Structure formats: C-alpha cells, structure tokens
Structure 1
C-alpha cells in the first residue's frame, strides 16, 4: 500500500490520531509502524494523558510498538512502558482503556503488573476482566495462575476463553496442580468449542487420564477442531490412532493446516497417514 508523501510531514502523534480518526486507514497505520520507537513512546505517553478514552486506549496500544516486537527489545524497553501504564492504571475508569492497558501489560510481561491486574479481576465490565486475563497470560507465579483459574469460570465467554487459552499454553513440567487440572475439567462441557478444546490440550499435556472420554467425544464431532487433534498428540495414547485415521478419512478434502496437524499426530502415535 502506497503511503501518501505528505504523511512524512506529520508528527507521530498526528499520524496516530489520523489512524484513529479514519478507521481502516491502513496507509496511516503503515506509516506509523515505520516511525522511530522513541517518537512513538512520546506520542503514546501524550495520548494516555488525553481526556478522550479512545485516545488513551490508543496510547496503551502504541506502547507495544514503542517497546518493540522482539524479545531483546521487550527486555530493554518494556520496563519503561510498564512504568507508564502502572502509573495510569489506578485512576483509569474507562473499561475500553483498562482492557487496552491489560493487553499491553500482557505483552510486556512485567511482574509488577500482576498485583495491579489482580485487583481488577472482579470488575463489573467483562472488557476489563478480559484485559486482566490477557495481562496475566505470560506470567507463571502463583497469584497470576490463581487469577487465571478464577477467570476461567467467568460468566463471559471471551474472558473464559482468554484465561483457559493462557493456562493451556503453560509448560506442563513447570506448571501443574490439582487446581489447574480441575479448572480444565470444569470447562470440558463448555458451550464454546475453543474453550473445550483448549481444556483438552491442558489435560492431555499433563497426561491426565480423565481426558480420554471427553477427547473421544470431541474427535467424534463434525467438524473436528484442530485443537482436538493436537490434544490427541499430546496425550500419546496409541488407542486413539484408529480414531485419528477415521477423522482423517472423513475430513477430506481438508486444508493444509488441518492435514499437517492430523498427519503429525498420527505419526507421533506410531501410525502412517494414508
């Protein structure tokens, strides 16, 4: 996409406001991504002081770009961005801004955010609770894990999904407990497919035998979710091989991602894809 030449004359703050004002202005978005991180940081700080909730939310979002998109940059610049957000968090009242702050704090993964986000876990607005779940997703300390477990039972599906997804991705050798497994078990009957299948993955990674029957039921559904295939691979139970072969046959034609996932699962269980 061509970036208009006159965008070069705009300040980083002006570019950000243009992108916000004209939603789907991809040229402004791309131009903003090319700006110096320090300039973006200063613009984000200024936006976070705005009287407009939309502008404050944009400021929180921009701190991701100001921090950088690789691990080294996050380690070098993340603390500064976290400082700004944690200073603004206690007085912020708008749910959309709090959600954006939580999301960015989740990307930065600064440990200081854990108690600040924990304090918001019972907020009346589900957008804030969603931000809390997102903000704690990268942490493995007991407070963060307990909060995610509590949010996995939230009344709003998007919050449950964010929390369960974060928990299912935790390394099974580093993070395991009866409470965590019970949280996964509780969600195996959830009406939302992604929540059920992420819970299957969480239990399968920990080789919990209680996952076998729910996993069989999920593999008998049509269409089969790719996460259920991944759960069968993690469980490493060869009795699932015939079922996986049957799923593969019934799923024709299939997209490349599904085919790759089921072929890999079949091979991991000692079989060979047709």
Structure 2
C-alpha cells in the first residue's frame, strides 16, 4: 500500500475502515473518514492516486472513493482525478472497484467520464448499473440524443427496481433534457409496479408540464401519509389549477407547499409576474449596469432574474427574492444591489468619447451605445455630454445610448430627431422601440413603414403602444405553449433583456452554445424576437410555432410523445 499524500496516516485509517466495513456491512465509520479525508482535496487526490495501482482490490476501491471525495470538495483536482479513473477503467474487472469507480466519475463533472459510464451501464452487476444511473447526471451533457441521456433511458427499463428508480430520478428530475423518447420512458415508469420508480416517472413528466401528469400527481398528493417534497416541487412546475384543492389540505408552512400553491393559483401567478416586472424596473433604475433580465424556463418553476448574459451570471429565483423582501419589489431590488457592489466601467472607451477628434468621439460613443451593454452612471454621463456635441453624428449616438438605457432624458431629444425625416434611420427607430414610451407615438406614426428607410417604424409603434405591447406579451406566452406542445425537446423559454423592448424566445440553453456570442440575447442555441417571428407568420401563433419547429429539425425522431 502506498500512503502517498498530505495525510498518509488518515489514508491508512480509511483503508482499515474499508476492510472493517467489508466484513460487517456497516459503512458509517468508513464514510465519515472519507469525508474527513476529502476535506484536503490535494491530499486526498494524492492518496487516491497512490492506491489505484495496488494489486489489492479493496485498496483500489478506496482509491476511487478518495478521488470522488476529493472531487466533491475541490474543483481543482477533478480533471486529474477523472484522468486517473478513466485510465483505471480500461483494465478493471473487479465489481466492487467498478462500483466505486462509477460513483467517483460522477463526482468529477468531466465529460470524459461519459463513454466509461455508458459502457458500464451494460454491466451484469446491478450495483454497477445503479452507480452509473446516479453518476451520469454529473457527467452527461443535456443533449436529448446524447449517449448519456440514451443510457439513462435504457436504464429506466432495467430489470432491477432500484436501477430503474435511480435512472428515472436522474432522467426525470436531475436532467432538463426533453423529447419523445424521454417522455415515453417516463410514461412507462408511471405504470411501474415499484412505487419509487413510478413516483419518479410521474414527477419527471410533471416537470416537463406534460398534461398526462395532472391526474397522476393528484393521486400522489392525495396520499394519506403525505407527499414527498419533490412532489410539491413537481406540482409547482406543472402549475395546474386542478391541483389546488388537494394542495390546500397541506400545511402551507410545509417545505414546498406554499410555492406549489402560489404556482397553481392563477391569481397569485399573475401577481408574481406583475411584481417581477416592477422588481426589474426598480433594479434597472438603481443599477442599469446589471443588465438584468427576467426569464421563464419550462423545466423549472417560477421566474428567474438574471444579472448579465454570461454563463455563470448571478441568478435569483424571483419568488424567493420577493419573500426575502417581504413582498416589496422595491426592497427586493435594493437587496440585489446590496449583494453586488459596484462593477468597473469601460473607462478607456469613456475617455475616447471626449476625444478632440470628432470621428473618434462618434466611434467611441457608438461602441458604448450599441456594441457594449455595460451601463453605469459614468457611462450615462458620457452619453449626456455627447447629446450637446457640435458634431451631429456623435450627438445622435449620445441620444441613442441614453435611449437604449431607457434614460428619461432621452425622450425630448429623441422626439427632436424624429421631427426631422432627413435624420431618421433604422437606429433611431430602434432606440424608440427600446424606450417604449407612448409619448413617441405621434412622431412615429408620421412615418410609412412601407418605405424601406422607415421600415423600423412599425415595430417602434408596436413597442410604444401599450395596447399592442400587452397583446404581444400575451401572444408570446401562447406561442410558447404552442411550441412546447409541438416540440418540447426544444426547451423553449421566454425572456426580456433590458436592451430589447419585447419578449425574446430562446431555444435550448447551453453553457457554451455553438456559434452564440450575443451579449444581449444570452446563452441560447437560437433566439427569436417574438415580434419579428409573429410578423413572419402573419400574426398566426400556430404558424409561428411551426416555423420555429421547422427551422430546428428534431434529432432521432419527430412529433409529440
């Protein structure tokens, strides 16, 4: 045995505890020591690596467990741990070691683990297959047709009930993947004779807002012994008014009950949406540089408030945030501001907006106004200075920059631009569109959108007209429902970024979407401005949904589950 590492004595104790657990079947002491060792990520990594080459299967299994514990506690060691575990898998045949190896791979969050886990999903030992079902969500991508998801679908039909249970939980609750094959697998489990696997199938369908889940979820909620907390979460996602009567029988102070009640009550749901919009407006007034946006995602309940569009940007559950603030949207906005101290401005570019060269001032102000989404008091001050610039192009960019940040000082200046047809072009209409103020309507209606130069007038009028704007938002939700009915695998979501007046339809959020680097529209595989999409479809919601579905052919099948 090689006790290499920061704490060789502790590694030795872990091995002794593993041998004792093998004989008694009581792993409590062993698990406690593993957690203790994992606290020293680098030391546990070194100790685990030293054990993987042992001729003793118990030591190799402990080595895998140490690498898993280290990966749990220290992200820095995960890549090296995954490399070692993948290497061990090539020649390992001992069943207990393979169980430990599969479990550890799932904790590395490393895509290289997927082929190993997929291969182990076909192992003869049910314990290995169960560890694979538990591990795959930590390694697989969200691709509905990816090998990891396909392996989980297969494991939901495993002859062993606990393998089916864990695989259905992983597929239905831990994964956001959706598609006909996934829903078919979840639906099969709703008829499973094993109660735990059946419940996971029901909850998985509910998270995808599949209407077939409503009577099944009612049955789980009506259980005299009470429902599982994950059932309340599923009810919150499904948000079906039919669930209200049975939910009202539960103590609202119970975990997840209040959230499920609020989601299933149409009146409270509308109030949440109104408060969320008030929160967004208040936050935008306090810290416009946050680039805050609201979004709703099909596999998750409620609304999310996101700051910025980069992967890993801060995100808040709007309902939870409002509860922190005692239901006061303005106070919720102040809480968010307190959570995030001032971020630095784009100082070099601001300096260039004050260059003695008018062309440089124009270019720098244009960059700040349109290309960059940053917004701070210093940036607004630079725009305001340029609104008095003697160089017309730089002045116009200053007005546009303020308008894109919905600064009320831009209103009279934008009206001035709109009063001169010779100075009106697409970017002016775009600024009016983002400001979305009824005061701009008379000036905008002077322009014929049938003339190519003035084509942007139509969408600007639609944004500034409160009636048209409300209709568009209602149509956007109907479009989302229609698209979800046609193609749930597209993982469609609606959100409204600050730099866009209207809702945006996003498809398939990924950490690193291929070809997507848009700082405004965010981390989606594809995005559509809803107003433009409805215009293409002649205002027909069903046709708009069909257009989107046709532009993104399904992988491995078509149609509804």
The farther-off stretch of 87-96 and 27-36 is 27-36
Aligned residues: 251
What is the Cα deviation at residue 28 of structure 1?
A: 7.5
What is the Cα deviation at residue 17 of structure 1?
A: 2.0
Residue 265 (str. 1) matches residue 263 (str. 2): no
Q: Aligned ranges for residues 116-265 of structure 1 at < 5 Å?
A: 116-138=116-138, 139=140, 140-141=142-143, 142-170=146-174, 172=176, 175-226=177-228, 227-246=230-249, 248=250, 259-265=254-260
What is the Cα deviation at residue 189 of structure 1?
A: 2.0
Please, which of 10, 13, 16 is the counterpart of residue 15 of structure 1? 13
Contact 1:184 1:200 in 2 (8 A): yes
Q: Aligned ranges for residues 69-148 of structure 1 at < 5 Å?
A: 69=73, 73-74=74-75, 76-138=76-138, 139=140, 140-141=142-143, 142-148=146-152
2:48 counterpart residue number = 44
Is the partner of 1:223 in helix, strand or coil? coil
CA distance in 2, matches of 1:45, 1:194: 37
Contact 1:133 1:159 in 2 (8 A): yes
Contact 1:189 1:196 in 2 (8 A): yes
What is the Cα deviation at residue 186 of structure 1?
A: 0.5
CA distance in 2, matches of 1:83, 1:202: 33
CA distance in 2, matches of 1:145, 1:85: 21
Deviations 1:220-247 (A, max 9, x none): 333233233322221111121012123x
CA distance in 2, matches of 1:48, 1:213: 50
Higher strand share: 2
Deviations 1:141-185 (A, max 9, x none): 41100000000111111211221111123464xx21011111110
What is the Cα deviation at residue 38 of structure 1?
A: 2.7
Contact 1:215 1:232 in 2 (8 A): yes
CA distance in 1, matches of 2:62, 2:83: 17
Higher helix share: 1
CA distance in 2, matches of 1:16, 1:157: 31
1:63 counterpart residue number = 67
Gaps of 5+ in 2: 1-5, 22-27, 269-561
Deviations 1:80-113 (A, max 9, x none): 0011111111211122211111111111121111
Is the partner of 1:63 in helix, strand or coil? helix
The farther-off stretch of 138-147 and 214-223 is 214-223
Residue 33 (str. 1) matches residue 31 (str. 2): no
Contact 1:245 1:266 in 2 (8 A): yes
The verdict on how the C-alpha distance between 1:26 and 1:64 changes in structure 2, with shifts beyond 3 A counting, is closer
The verdict on how the C-alpha distance between 1:144 and 1:28 changes in structure 2, with shifts beyond 3 A counting, is closer
The farther-off stretch of 147-156 and 131-140 is 131-140
Is the partner of 2:120 in helix, strand or coil? coil
Contact 1:15 1:32 in 2 (8 A): no
TM-score by length of 2: 0.41
The verdict on how the C-alpha distance between 1:35 and 1:237 changes in structure 2, with shifts beyond 3 A counting, is closer
- The structure showing larger relative contact order (alpha-carbon pairs under 8 Å, at least 6 residues apart) is 1
Contact 2:58 2:97 in 1 (8 A): yes
TM-score by length of 1: 0.81
Gaps of 5+ in 1: 1-7
Contact 1:201 1:234 in 2 (8 A): no
Contact 2:38 2:44 in 1 (8 A): no
RMSD, aligned α-carbons: 2.7
Larger CA Rg, structure 1 vs 2: 2
2:331 counterpart residue number = none
Is the partner of 1:54 in helix, strand or coil? helix
The verdict on how the C-alpha distance between 1:198 and 1:42 changes in structure 2, with shifts beyond 3 A counting, is same
